[in-house]
Amino acid sequence: MKMLAVSALLCVTVALTRAAVVPEAAASKDLSVKSHLVKRSTSCSGRWTNINGRCFHYFPAPMTWAKAERNCQSIGGNLASVHDIQEYHEIQSLIKTATYQSKETWIGGSDAQEESVWLWSDGSRFSYTNWCPGEPNNWRGRQHCIQINHGGDKCWDDVGCGASRPFVCSKKM
């Protein structure tokens, strides 16, 4: 008796599942089932700029590093990671185009988890740097986040993560 009930339940489940799929397939005028997978765009939309196959956007509203990272995550990205000098110059250009200045700006580097072990918030490999002379110095043991466009050389500086800065987000296309 239990086997009969299980078999009946299985048949009903298959029938209901099939019924939910068939109208969709019929609507597409063939027997293949439409995919609900989201396809990645091959370009950046809106005010995002394509740099080396990723989309970047400058946000002028000053925030702490953590709030800026959370903001980037809420739109599907992270604070920007930088992987070579050309990418760095393009990010600087993005900032200058938006502000007509070279403002100190957050990017996604931090050594908050372990001193002198710098990580990108997007998980990518931390291999390129553009530190200002004498940086990172972890002044007073409280500097764990990276700002760019620091000083006359417009290079990187470690700074306290609680400072408020505009920021650049990046996301995959």
pLDDT in tens, 134-145: 999 988 879 999
What are the domain boundaries of the chain?
1-37, 49-172
Mean pLDDT of all residues belonging to the chain: 83
In this predicted model, which residue has the larger pLDDT, 2 or 124?
A: 124
- Cβ atoms within 10 Å of 170's Cβ, excluding its own: 28
Distance CA(97)–CA(117), nearest Å, equals 32
pLDDT tens readout for residues 83-132: 999 999 999 999 999 999 999 999 999 999 999 999 999 999 999 999 99
**Residue 166, preceding peptide bond in cis (omega within 30° of 0):** no
Has domain 49-172 been given CATH number 3.40.50.720?
Answer: no
pLDDT higher than threshold 80 for residue 62 = yes
Backbone angles phi, psi at 59, to 5 degrees: -115, 115
> Residue 171 is which amino acid?
K
